[in-house]
Structure 1
Amino acid sequence: MKTRLFLIIVFVFLTVSLSAQENKASVALAAAIYEEEVTGNLDKAVNLYLDILKKYPNDRQVSAKTLYHLGLVNEKMGKQKASEYFTRLVNTYPDQ
């Protein structure tokens, strides 16, 4: 009985921990999008997007959205790097 309770507690803890990590990535992405679309601070948005890719490489959905927005921001800035981000998005996350 104690073993079963222990396993349930561990499972719940791991589930909550993973959910919190995913939530942090989503919040960081929302902050970067805010900088891009609301404040218009494109340089800051780029830095935030790059930071997201470094901090949350295992979150496929957030990483795909981040690459998409990096492409958009660079396109808005008139930079050739935009196509690199779009290509990386398609090649790395074709399922997203």
Structure 2
Amino acid sequence: MENAVTHADTDSPLVTVTVETGEEWTTVIVADDGPGVPETLGKSAFEMAEYGPGGGAGMGLFLVRSIVERYGGEVGVTDNEPSGARFSLRFPTA
């Protein structure tokens, strides 16, 4: 969520967190109305980088993916129409 606020195009960014629970999977969705994830970055957004955009450490999404996968889950990123990014964290339902 910090990335959403840091890279926002406005002083009042909108970040929504939604939880969808099913019999087999629980999905946490974090969506924003910012500039989105550059197409050139795509799935590599979850890889460790020497530095992140805007001078960050480049480890945030890498750590998210590592933790989610450790618990048998999956991560993904898509565009959030009409603007922004939509990150999904999918875990097996306990």
When normalised by structure 1's length, the TM-score is 0.24
- Between Structure 1 and Structure 2, the one with more strand by share is 2
Bigger relative contact order (CA 8 A; separation at least 6)? 2
Determine which structure has more spread, i.e. the larger CA radius of gyration.
1
- Between Structure 1 and Structure 2, the one with more helix by share is 1
